[in-house]
Protein backbone atom coordinates (compact mmCIF):
# COMPACT_ATOMS: atom_id res chain seq x y z
CA UNK A 1 0.00 0.00 0.00
CA UNK A 2 1.47 3.37 -1.00
CA UNK A 3 1.11 6.71 0.79
CA UNK A 4 -1.74 7.96 -1.41
CA UNK A 5 -4.00 5.02 -0.50
CA UNK A 6 -6.45 5.44 2.36
CA UNK A 7 -7.75 2.38 4.22
CA UNK A 8 -11.31 2.79 5.51
CA UNK A 9 -13.42 0.56 7.76
CA UNK A 10 -17.17 1.21 7.75
CA UNK A 11 -19.29 -0.01 10.66
CA UNK A 12 -22.97 0.85 10.33
CA UNK A 13 -24.66 -0.79 13.33
CA UNK A 14 -27.47 -2.43 11.36
CA UNK A 15 -27.52 -5.50 13.59
CA UNK A 16 -28.13 -3.36 16.68
CA UNK A 17 -31.11 -1.69 15.01
CA UNK A 18 -32.51 -5.14 14.19
CA UNK A 19 -32.11 -6.28 17.81
CA UNK A 20 -33.83 -3.15 19.12
CA UNK A 21 -36.65 -3.44 16.59
CA UNK A 22 -37.25 -7.08 17.49
CA UNK A 23 -37.29 -6.16 21.20
CA UNK A 24 -39.68 -3.26 20.65
CA UNK A 25 -42.11 -5.34 18.61
CA UNK A 26 -42.12 -8.16 21.17
CA UNK A 27 -42.61 -5.75 24.07
CA UNK A 28 -45.43 -4.00 22.21
CA UNK A 29 -47.32 -7.27 21.82
CA UNK A 30 -46.79 -8.19 25.46
CA UNK A 31 -47.82 -4.72 26.61
CA UNK A 32 -51.08 -5.03 24.67
CA UNK A 33 -51.83 -8.30 26.48
CA UNK A 34 -50.69 -6.92 29.84
CA UNK A 35 -53.11 -4.01 29.64
CA UNK A 36 -56.02 -6.47 29.58
CA UNK A 37 -54.97 -8.44 32.65
CA UNK A 38 -55.60 -7.78 36.30
CA UNK A 39 -52.64 -6.76 38.48
CA UNK A 40 -51.19 -9.73 40.35
CA UNK A 41 -53.05 -12.40 38.38
CA UNK A 42 -51.18 -15.48 37.18
CA UNK A 43 -51.35 -14.34 33.56
CA UNK A 44 -50.08 -10.87 34.55
CA UNK A 45 -47.12 -12.37 36.40
CA UNK A 46 -46.27 -14.59 33.43
CA UNK A 47 -46.40 -11.66 31.01
CA UNK A 48 -44.20 -9.53 33.30
CA UNK A 49 -41.69 -12.40 33.49
CA UNK A 50 -41.73 -12.70 29.68
CA UNK A 51 -41.11 -8.94 29.42
CA UNK A 52 -38.09 -9.22 31.72
CA UNK A 53 -36.74 -12.16 29.69
CA UNK A 54 -37.03 -10.26 26.41
CA UNK A 55 -35.43 -7.12 27.85
CA UNK A 56 -32.58 -9.12 29.41
CA UNK A 57 -31.83 -11.04 26.24
CA UNK A 58 -31.82 -7.85 24.13
CA UNK A 59 -29.60 -6.08 26.69
CA UNK A 60 -27.01 -8.88 26.50
CA UNK A 61 -27.16 -8.99 22.69
CA UNK A 62 -26.66 -5.21 22.47
CA UNK A 63 -23.79 -5.32 24.96
CA UNK A 64 -22.08 -8.00 22.88
CA UNK A 65 -22.67 -6.02 19.69
CA UNK A 66 -21.23 -2.83 21.20
CA UNK A 67 -18.10 -4.74 22.21
CA UNK A 68 -17.78 -6.19 18.70
CA UNK A 69 -18.11 -2.75 17.10
CA UNK A 70 -15.52 -1.27 19.43
CA UNK A 71 -13.15 -4.20 18.80
CA UNK A 72 -13.40 -3.84 15.01
CA UNK A 73 -12.74 -0.11 15.20
CA UNK A 74 -9.89 -0.62 17.68
CA UNK A 75 -8.29 -3.26 15.45
CA UNK A 76 -8.38 -0.81 12.54
CA UNK A 77 -6.86 1.97 14.67
CA UNK A 78 -4.15 -0.29 16.09
CA UNK A 79 -3.28 -1.86 12.71
CA UNK A 80 -2.61 1.58 11.24
CA UNK A 81 -0.73 2.80 14.33
CA UNK A 82 -2.96 5.82 14.67
CA UNK A 83 -1.86 8.35 17.27
CA UNK A 84 -5.07 10.39 17.36
CA UNK A 85 -8.73 9.40 17.27
CA UNK A 86 -11.35 12.01 16.32
CA UNK A 87 -15.08 11.20 16.37
CA UNK A 88 -17.89 13.47 15.20
CA UNK A 89 -19.88 15.06 18.02
CA UNK A 90 -23.59 14.29 17.60
CA UNK A 91 -24.71 14.73 21.19
CA UNK A 92 -28.15 16.29 21.37
CA UNK A 93 -29.01 15.43 17.78
CA UNK A 94 -32.32 13.89 18.90
CA UNK A 95 -33.47 16.89 20.98
CA UNK A 96 -36.65 18.69 19.84
CA UNK A 97 -37.01 16.52 16.73
CA UNK A 98 -40.70 16.05 17.47
CA UNK A 99 -41.57 19.68 18.20
CA UNK A 100 -39.75 21.01 15.14
CA UNK A 101 -40.93 18.11 12.90
CA UNK A 102 -37.34 17.55 11.82
CA UNK A 103 -37.54 13.78 11.64
CA UNK A 104 -40.06 10.94 11.34
CA UNK A 105 -41.26 8.74 14.17
CA UNK A 106 -39.18 5.65 13.40
CA UNK A 107 -35.97 7.65 12.87
CA UNK A 108 -36.62 9.54 16.11
CA UNK A 109 -36.97 6.22 17.94
CA UNK A 110 -33.68 4.98 16.44
CA UNK A 111 -31.87 8.13 17.57
CA UNK A 112 -33.21 7.91 21.10
CA UNK A 113 -32.08 4.28 21.43
CA UNK A 114 -28.59 4.85 20.01
CA UNK A 115 -25.83 3.52 22.31
CA UNK A 116 -23.09 5.77 20.97
CA UNK A 117 -21.64 6.78 24.35
CA UNK A 118 -21.21 3.14 25.35
CA UNK A 119 -19.38 2.39 22.11
CA UNK A 120 -17.09 5.39 22.64
CA UNK A 121 -16.29 4.18 26.17
CA UNK A 122 -15.45 0.69 24.91
CA UNK A 123 -13.34 2.13 22.08
CA UNK A 124 -11.46 4.30 24.55
CA UNK A 125 -10.73 1.25 26.73
CA UNK A 126 -9.67 -0.97 23.83
CA UNK A 127 -7.36 1.52 22.08
CA UNK A 128 -5.96 3.44 25.05
CA UNK A 129 -6.16 6.66 23.00
CA UNK A 130 -7.92 9.82 24.09
CA UNK A 131 -11.00 10.34 21.94
CA UNK A 132 -11.49 13.84 20.59
CA UNK A 133 -14.82 15.14 19.33
Give domain status of residue 7, yes or no.
no
Closest listed residue to residue 17, CA positions, set 101, 111, 98: 111
Is 55 within a domain? yes
Taking the C-alpha atoms of residue 104 and residue 101, their distance in angstroms, rounded to an integer, is 7
| Domain total of the chain | 1
Does any domain span residue 65?
A: yes
Q: Which residues contact 22 (CB under 8 A, 6 or more apart)?
A: 58
Residue 2 within a domain: no
| pLDDT given for residue 1 in this prediction | 59
Of the chain, the end-to-end C-alpha distance in Å amounts to: 29
Is residue 9 in a domain?
no
What domain range is 25 assigned to?
Answer: 14-132
The pTM of the full predicted model, rounded to 2 decimals, is 0.81
Query: Across residues 111-115, what is the average pLDDT?
Result: 83
Tell me if 99 is assigned to some domain: yes
In a domain, 5, yes or no: no
Q: Which residues contact 131 (CB under 8 A, 6 or more apart)?
A: 85, 86, 87, 120, 123, 124
Residue 109 has pLDDT above 90, yes or no: no
pLDDT, tens digit, for every residue of 15-52?
A: 999 999 999 999 999 999 999 999 999 999 999 999 99
- Do the domain assignments include residue 8? no
Amino acid sequence: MDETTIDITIINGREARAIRRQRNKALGGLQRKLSKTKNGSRKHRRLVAATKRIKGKARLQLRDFDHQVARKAANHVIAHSTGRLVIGDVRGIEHKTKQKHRIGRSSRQQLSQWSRGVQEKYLDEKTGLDIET
